[in-house]
Amino acid sequence: MLVGLCTIILLLWITGCSFLQQKGPEIANWEPALSPDGTTIAFESPGEKGLEIYTRDLENGETTQLTKNEVDDWSPSWSPQGDRIVFVSNREKNVDLYVIELEGFAVTRLTTHEGNEVNPCWGANDKILFNSDRSDIWEIYMVDPYGQDLIKVTETTASE
């Protein structure tokens, strides 16, 4: 519980935002990602059957569930324009990257390799950096938001 509290306090200190406490039973909310305009956070939290992605408006306290399925969705990262979120999911036999449109909630699978892709970070250049074990060792890769132009950023004999 202290880790989550420290994360919220640090987020508030960095952004200067106010925070409306979520009412209800104690729930684990993890991996907060601040929107580019600083008004909304995306985060993961347990849903009915697995981890789901949510957003919370920091001004009015409104929480919106973006994903709802029987698998885990986690590790959200905002697009530079703030209209999409990349996240990780185990919807298929392995862990892949997906993008959700915030208008209409359409979900697109970005990666389809047999390896696992985790820790997405959407950069200002509209490229998504992530870790993958597709080469039998964890490396850093970069891809565009449509799953094209995949580049292996690191090449090493040790885990990144």
Residue 157, pLDDT score: 74
State the sign of the Cα–Cα–Cα–Cα dihedral 103, 54, 57, 61: positive
**CA gap 16, 8 in Å, rounded:** 11
Rounded-to-integer distance, Cα 117 and Cα 124, Å: 20
Domain boundaries along the sequence of the chain = 27-152
Per-residue pLDDT for the chain (160 aa), expressed as one digit of tens each?
334 443 444 444 444 544 444 444 556 898 999 999 999 999 999 998 899 999 999 999 999 999 999 999 999 999 999 999 999 999 988 999 999 999 999 999 999 988 999 999 999 899 999 999 998 899 999 999 999 999 999 998 765 5
In terms of phi and psi (left: phi > 0; alpha: psi -120 to 50; beta: otherwise), the region of 119 is: left
Angle made by CA atoms 93, 99, 105, in degrees to the nearest 5: 110
Q: What pLDDT, on the 0 to 100 scale, is given for residue 124?
A: 87
**Domain 27-152, classified CATH 3.50.50.60, yes or no:** no
The single-letter DSSP state of residue 104 is T
